[in-house]
Amino acid sequence: MCSVILANSQCMDSLAVLRDTANLSVLNKKRWRLAFVTIYCSRAFFPRFKQHEILSRRWSKISPDPSSEITLDVVLEHPLFSGVDQSSLIKVVKDKSLDHLAKLGGVEGISSSLKTDLLYGITGDLEDISSRHETFGTNTYRKPPTQSFLHFVWEAFKDPTILILLLCAAFSLGFGIKENGPKEGWYDGGSIFVAVFLVISVSSISNFRQNRRFEKLSKVSSNIPVEVVRNSRRQQITIFEIVVGEVVCLKIGDQVPADGLFIEGHSLQVDESSMTGESDHVEINTYQRPFLFSGTKVADGYGKMIVTSVGMNTTWGEMMSTITRDSNEQTPLQMRLNKLTSSIGKVGLAVAFLVLLVLLVRYFTGSTEDDNGNKEFNGSRTKADDVISAVVRIITAAVTIVVVAIPEGLPLAVTLTLAYSMKRMMADQAMVRKLSACETMGSATTICTDKTGTLTLNQMKVTKFWLGKESLEGMQDYSLISSNVLELFYQGIGLNTTGSVYRSEISGTYLEFSGSPTEKAILSWAMLELNMDMEAVKRDCNVLNVEAFNSEKKRSGILMKKVEDGGSHVHWKGAAEMILAMCSHYYDVKGEIKDLNDFERVKFDQIIQGMAASSLRCIAFAHKQVIEVEHESGGNHPRIQENGLTLLGMVGLKDPCRPGVKRAVEDCQFAGVNVKMITGDNVFTAKAIATECGILHLNQEENDDTVVEGVEFRGYTDEERMEKVDKICVMARSSPFDKLLMVQCLKRKGHVVAVTGDGTNDAPALKEADIGLSMGIQGTEVAKESSDIVILDDNFASVATVLRWGRCVYNNIQKFIQFQLTVNVAALVINFVAAVSAGEVPLTAVQLLWVNLIMDTLGALALATERPTKELMNKKPVGRTEPLITNVMWRNLLAQALYQISVLLILQFRGESILNISRRVNDTLIFNTFVLCQVFNEFNARELEKKNVFEGIHKNKLFLGIVGITLILQVVMVEFLKKFADTERLNWGQWGLCMGIAAASWPICWLVKSIPVTDRPVSSFFSFKNF
């Protein structure tokens, strides 16, 4: 209190000074007085509050009485967004607090504070967006830190064989320096250290790059398009561009992009299972449940919301910040290869152990000699250091054999080819969400595809209009329509739609339509051809209830009331034959209502079939005036009547087939993949489109079960479905359940099934299929999350491209397996035979590590990045149980391995005498020939069956680059790193001999591929039969 009195006295003194100021006008005096008092008093009071805060902290330790504390509720408001702060906006949605919402003025109050127009949205200019970012944050999530390069280096160091090699290198280095001094003694151990370092570096860099690539693809897959209203027009932005105050449009299948509040809509139901775990759908409305949470999915209906929180301020953001995508996902092929690697590794370990045993026995029995021809071991006369050094050298050789024998390059090759394929597929309009789909797609035997947008362009245009039994074309015919029928059309089109129209304020003539292609086509036709004024229609009518369109009922309806006379009307729109079944009357051109008897109904059926046979989608409009509005049983919503309607008219929408789709279908069929079309259109439209796309052929009989309707397929018994499912090419008027049923039947018959889907209800079929393919443009977020691959351009030709890439992945892996197993077999046999017979291994530890580097990493890069060829589509699909190592591969690798073993063993035992060269030169010749054989064999591995292995090689610049780098490095190893690699320089003749021996593998490959192979897998005789 004393502080306050002192402050007041200081302020009064200041006022006295102001009164004595002369030569100032009264107004200026008042302004100066006000400014001075404000500044001085605030300076006087501020330190007093600080002192009070310190004192209160001290007293709080003594007296915890809450009544003695003063709580100041400080609201940090942005000058542009007064009346609301970030914490209040977060709290109102997270707590689902209607009371808190009411205190903030409801949705209208919040929108006013956020400078948002609920009808026209935010302005959306740069200044507006930046101020919202600054105040409320961005719609991005904090991700856990990505794995650094050192993490992959550490993972590589964990390999037991690498650790043993490093230990042996350390012993070798120590003994070498002790025996020969630091200048000469470091070569053996140091060379192993450098070689191991190279292997670890290349492996770590490769794995690090693939991890980064997967992360980039993960970011792309989470970049969801969202429809918002900005500056009175609907537009699409990405989910990361959403800001607080945004007006977002929601429809079935959408993901709610941020936390927010419901503005308006109809029948909006949300699946909150991702947040709560409850599978029941939550109905969203204005009064009881206006709260919408980020990450939830729209299950039914449509509506608008205003965003109140984004990014880390949402519950979903907090959850996502703790989740990271597992880039170490094991695909089925990788698991099979791990088993293969394990089996080969066991063989390698057995060989290495035998080599170790033989070398140790020969050393300790005095059967080995040094470079001077003296025995290496002379019992007690041999120094302990020499014995330990020799044992370390022997162990190093044995361990190095294990390193070469274990094909750790196989998993790396899979990772490389998958990463390369994913990148290329992205450029070819296919985004891979699950790695296993890349492999599985290569085995696909059946593709079940949608029609609209996949086989067709999804660019709808009204080309036919029937009013009653008469076809009307052009403005002259449209002028004959009676005014009352025209008004009903305006209501049925302008109100019963999820689309919208934006009219430019500048010209007033430019129209921009948004919504689904069907909605946009009908709206543009009504406004441009029928002169509908959509704003006037919405102004004159109030919508009471809406039944949103879904793929099961294939219709949508509204109940509306006219403002002028209060009359209630029902309007339905949907598939023509379904709307026709709900009608008992129809309007003619004059506007008279006629009875729809059986005879007339047959005529309308013929009209519908005629349009459908012309590949038109038939949409009908129906109306009914309601005398008394009824309510749904057990609910408050007014019921939309479904019978006794009057048919207004029908339109036919043309959706042209995509260019190139027929060729893509033919390519799939030629590759042994059956293409089935599953569509919601009627059977006549489905037949016409299927014939145009090449799925149905003119010579196919209509009664041979190639075309069925969903209800017919559903009605079959299990036995009938299993019998007929292979014959079916087209399923019309299908529901998502019918699609799921077909997928289940095909899988039970042993097919590998790929399914395309775009709707929320397609999710079960997409999950059930071996490969789920969702549509990137028309696909809902629910469909995309249920799929394995997203087709970004919704084009069937891209589906065929995915099939080609799937086969390419499988083929590239087989090429690398053949290449690597050839090296494994040759290296193991050569070292084992030499060790047993001569007591020494021809290839040193450093040389074997260099071979390991060539075949594991560089070989994987060269062979795993081959692009798909046309020949891949000439083969039948690879079966689920077909062995990974085929008869053709066994033939090729055994031929090359036997050739290499024969030549190198001849050089090992007779090379010195035949070529008249020293032992060190002979060892270098063996090493050089062995490496060059692998380089030349890389060309042979490019083609498993074709004799011409050089076809298209100029297109693979990476392959040629790797071969060139390998040859250059080999020259450096032999000619310039003599002490590092334990080699001697070779003359031109010796280089020519090495190149000649290696090049001989090409004609051998050509001859071997002329040898026919049996159909029975050779691998069935060995332990590899499961691979």
Distance between CA 708 and CA 723 in Å, rounded? Answer: 14
Compute the distance between CA of residue 759 and CA of residue 786 in angstroms, rounded to an integer.
11
**Interacting residues of 595 by C-beta distance below 8 A, sequence separation 6+:** 584, 585
- What CA–CA distance (Å, rounded) separates 743 from 448? 8
In Å, how far are 417, 507, 688, 868, 1003 from 938, measured between CA atoms? 16, 66, 50, 18, 14
- Rounded distance between C-alpha atoms, residue 436 and residue 752, angstroms: 13
Sign of the Cα pseudo-torsion (235, 236, 237, 242, in order): positive
* Matching residue, tokens 């392959």: 959
Residue 78 CB contacts under 8 Å (≥ 6 apart), including other chains: 131, 134, 135
* Active-site annotation holder among 300, 450, 738, 982: 450
Distance of CA 834 to the CA centre of its chain: 51
Rg of the chain over CA atoms, in angstroms? 39
Q: Please list, in sequence order, all residues whose beta carbon lies within 8 angstroms of the beta carbon of residue 490, skipping any fewer than 6 positions away.
A: 526, 530, 532, 533, 537
Distance from C-alpha of 348 to C-alpha of 263, rounded to nearest angstrom = 69
Residue in 764, 768, 794, 755 with CA at minimum distance from that of residue 782: 764
Output DSSP code: residue 144. Answer: P
Give the other-Cβ count within 10 Å of 36's Cβ: 15
The helix or strand, by DSSP H or E, that contains position 370, with its residue range, turns out to be none
Question: Rounded distance, CA 527 to CA 765, Å?
Answer: 38
Question: What distance in Å separates the CA atoms of residue 173 and residue 167, rounded to the nearest whole number?
Answer: 10
Per the structure block, which two tokens stand in for 372? 């001077």
Ramachandran category for residue 137: left, alpha or beta (phi over 0 → left; psi -120 to 50 → alpha): left
Report the alpha-carbon distance of residue 258 to residue 316 in Å, rounded.
8
Sequence-separated (6 or more) residues with CB below 8 Å from residue 705:
724, 727, 728
For 295, the token pair is 């990450």
Residue partners of 804: CB distance under 8 A and separation at least 6: 868, 872, 873
Helix (H, G, I), strand (E, B) or coil at 503: strand
The CA distance from 955 to 400, in Å, is 36
d(CA 713, CA 740): 12
Both tokens assigned to 991? 């280089």
Name the burial class of residue 432, with classes exposed (0-12), middle (13-18) and buried (19+) by CB atoms within 10 angstroms of its CB.
buried
Cβ–Cβ < 8 Å for 774, 791: yes
Q: What's the Cα-to-Cα distance from 794 to each of 115, 720, 743, rounded to whole Å? A: 38, 33, 20
Q: How far is CA 762 from CA 195, 712, 755, in A?
A: 54, 19, 9
Our answer to whether residue 450 is catalytic in this structure is: yes
Evaluated on CA atoms 427, 428, 434, 435, the torsion sign reads negative
Check: CB of residue 77 under 8 Å from CB of residue 85. Answer: yes
Distance of CA 482 to the CA centre of its chain: 53
CA distance readout (Å), 728 to 446, 663, 879: 11, 21, 22
Active site residues: 450
